[in-house]
Amino acid sequence: MVRVPYYLASIRVWESLFALPFAYMGMVLAAGGWPRLSTFIWITLAMAGARTLAMSANRYIHRKEDAANPRTANRHLPKGLLKPWEVVLMAAVGLGVFLFAASQLNPLAFALAPVAAVYVVLYSYAKYHTWTCNLLLGWSLAIAPIGAWVAVTGTLEPQAVLLAFAVATWAGGFDILYTCSDYEFDGKYGIHSIPRRFGFNNAFHITRGLHFLSAVSLLALGFWMGLNYFYYIGWAFAVSLLVFESGFLKPDDLSKLNAPFFKYNSGVSMLHLGFTILALVV
């Protein structure tokens, strides 16, 4: 039990505030409201398992770079607070929870679960090979709303794909900004990213373009699904956060890429979820 805080901290459990609200958003949109309690519980467990798998695999795969990078050298594996076998075990437990939870939902959810599991593990290797790794990370988060939608309906519908696209472009955009902080390190160690490929200024422009696509997609989703004005209020608040973030982050000043950056992006997902629920129940 003493090591449990280490396990939770190593996978940055608080960052679930990025993807989990969008998973629940896909869930309530698919259900047209709140689904059965059992569905909600299994979706939550599936999300917890998938995130544990993805983050544990990421920590294990990147353990050598994390030890060499001053920004990440204090993480649990580099510091010796956790051993590599413990992180692999965490990944295995996460995989087991994810697959079991998916099996309790419906046949399509269970059939697609191994595909999702492979993706969230393999994308961690992308930065060794391609600058599109930031975009691929975005799609790893986009699995959440699609998976939740399938969990509720047992089908994959175009509205779910549009929501996933919105999440992928939003998450890919903020990951581009985040990797700017490792620009020099990545260049030294041959790690790929959009900032390394196109430079800081262009990376910021690409992020703004991706966030524009995300905002337009979420607006279109509201019209497509006939949601009421509460949805658009939440959309406006969330877009305002993205605009504000774009204003205070500068290519020549990355000092605000920590706590404020995470707060704004978790706020985006939570605002969308909260006001989507209001739009469905009021």
Tokens of 171: 């998450």
Rounded to an integer, what distance in angstroms lies between the CA atom of residue 155 and that of residue 30? 10
* H helix or E strand, kind and range, residue 194: helix 194-198
Residue of higher predicted confidence among 10 and 131: 131
The model's confidence at residue 1, banded by pLDDT at 50, 70 and 90, is very low
Task: Provide the 8-state DSSP code for 82.
Answer: S
Mean pLDDT throughout 202-214? Answer: 95
pLDDT digits (tens, 9 = 90+) for 35-87: 999 999 999 999 999 999 999 999 999 988 888 888 878 877 788 778 889 88
* CATH code, domain carrying 152: 1.10.357.140
- Per the CB < 8 A criterion, the answer to whether 207 and 251 are in contact is no
pTM of the prediction? 0.92
Mean pLDDT, range 191-197, rounded to an integer: 95
Confidence of residue 199 (pLDDT cuts 50, 70, 90): very high
- Return the biggest CA–CA distance within the chain: 54
Model confidence over 172-182: pLDDT tens digits? 998 998 898 88
Residue 251's domain comprises 4-281
34 Ramachandran zone, left/alpha/beta (phi>0; psi -120 to 50): beta
Dist CA 204 CA 142 (whole Å): 21
Tell me the CA distances in angstroms from 147 to 114, 139, 176, 213, one per residue in order: 12, 12, 24, 21
Average pLDDT over residues 84-91: 90
122 pLDDT band, cuts 50/70/90, is very high
Domain count, the chain: 1
Mean pLDDT to the nearest integer, 16-39: 91
